[in-house]
Structure 1
Amino acid sequence: METASQSRLPRERPLLTLGAAVLLCELVGITGALFTATGVESWYATLNQPELAPPNWVFGPVWTTLYALMGAAAWLVWREGSGRSQQVALGLFGVQLALNFAWSFVFFGAEAILPALAVILVLLFFIGTTATAFWRIDRRAALLLVPYLAWVSFATYLSYGFWQLN
């Protein structure tokens, strides 16, 4: 059960809690990137690339930015929300964050393209559901997830392309 001091924490220490929320998301990204780093240089390089596949150097800056936006969005919901709607929204956020990590593991770690496509489709659904839940609490938080939704939509296209070509 949440205590009164926990619910005030993001308001009393905004920079600290914003930094913690962003750091948490970045850590998920860094952990997922461990699978990516090993797979990009070996297995990924041997795959037939779908049209529009960006160069490898693009992914690091894009994902770093997206994780920061995700952390800021979650922080806004943590700060502005309360009760059941906040719990549901942050729970959905946690699910999509776990699916985000899972995709990296399945695609790069397990080198399993079709299962990774299934994971990313579920991830796309949960990002949309999370954005909807965030919208009800703080529209800025939902809008911060739009670039993430767009990028994962593009990544879904790429995943499908990899499956078709390999």
Structure 2
Amino acid sequence: MTELASPGQLRASLLRWSLFLAPLLLLLGTLSGMMSGSGGNNYWFAGLEKPAIYPPPATFGIVWTILYLLMGTALAMVVTARGAPGRSLAIAVFVVQFLLNLAWSPVFFGMQLLVPGFYLLLAIDVAVLLTVVLFYRVRPLAAWLLVPYLAWVLFAAVLNWQFVQANPEEAAGAEVALAS
């Protein structure tokens, strides 16, 4: 078959991929948080001094739900851009940044490591920025859908650093325990 897909077929493919990827990313993100004991029910976290910029706890679930759905939709747009130059690299970098994203909750909440959590967030920031650039080359709208995510992980890095600053004993104690 040498015919190109019709606009309707392309939209249907994007819809199918979006309906698969957006809930999948949301599920994986939710499982990462749940399995690492993230959130207000974590006794260790509840005992930490909270920075002034720490938002109300309900904010995190709302924001992450929206961000994972946007990320899934953006990824679907790139996945369905068959033949686009740079598509495979964009998808590969997305997967790397997403795996880093999934690793943060276990590092910060599960292992209770403030400083490594901060450094992981810096790596996530760089990986998300690179993903935005690569997505823009494939589908500009897909890149724009990731901008709120980039803004949030940049904010998360600042917030994580402020947790380190507000809880120096906890940050130092976990690092000593890790080195032993």
Q: Distance in 2 between matches of 1:38 and 1:159?
A: 14
Q: Report what 2:26 is aligned to.
A: 26
Q: Distance in 2 between matches of 1:83 and 1:13?
A: 15
Question: Where in structure 2 are the equivalents of 1:129-144 lying within 5 Å?
Answer: 129-144=130-145
Q: Which structure carries more helix by proportion?
A: 1
**2:98 matches 1:93:** no
Per the TM alignment, residue 43 of structure 1 is displaced from its structure 2 partner at its CA by: 1.1
Residue correspondences, number: 159
Question: Where in structure 2 are the equivalents of 1:8-157 lying within 5 Å?
Answer: 11=10, 12-35=12-35, 37=37, 40-41=40-41, 42-82=43-83, 85-157=86-158
- Quick one: percent identity of the two aligned structures? 37
SS in 1 for 2:80: helix
| Mapped contact 2:13–2:80 kept (Cα < 8 A) | no
| Mapped contact 1:81–1:137 kept (Cα < 8 A) | no
SS in 1 for 2:133: helix
Q: Which residue type is aligned with residue 26 of structure 2? A: E
Q: Report what 1:5 is aligned to.
A: none
Unaligned runs of 5+ in 2: 1-8, 168-180
SS in 1 for 2:40: helix
| Mapped contact 1:28–1:97 kept (Cα < 8 A) | no
Q: Which residue type is aligned with residue 46 of structure 2? A: A
Per the TM alignment, residue 137 of structure 1 is displaced from its structure 2 partner at its CA by: 0.5
| Mapped contact 2:14–2:77 kept (Cα < 8 A) | no
Q: Which residue type is aligned with residue 102 of structure 1? A: A
Of 77-86 and 121-130, more deviation after overlay is shown by 77-86
Per the TM alignment, residue 84 of structure 1 is displaced from its structure 2 partner at its CA by: 5.9
Per the TM alignment, residue 158 of structure 1 is displaced from its structure 2 partner at its CA by: 0.6
Per the TM alignment, residue 27 of structure 1 is displaced from its structure 2 partner at its CA by: 1.8
**Cα displacement string for residues 111-151 of structure 1 (whole angstroms, at most 9, x for unaligned residues):** 10000001000000000000000000100000000000001
The structure 1 segments of at least 4 consecutive aligned residues displaced by more than 6 Å after TM superposition are none
TM norm structure 2: 0.82
Q: Distance in 2 between matches of 1:157 and 1:20?
A: 32
**Cα displacement string for residues 41-81 of structure 1 (whole angstroms, at most 9, x for unaligned residues):** 21111111111101111100100000000000000111124
Q: Distance in 1 between matches of 2:52 and 2:148?
A: 21
| Mapped contact 1:22–1:70 kept (Cα < 8 A) | yes
Unaligned runs of 5+ in 1: 1-9
Q: Distance in 2 between matches of 1:71 and 1:108?
A: 24
TM norm structure 1: 0.89
Q: Distance in 1 between matches of 2:118 and 2:38?
A: 20
Larger radius of gyration: 2
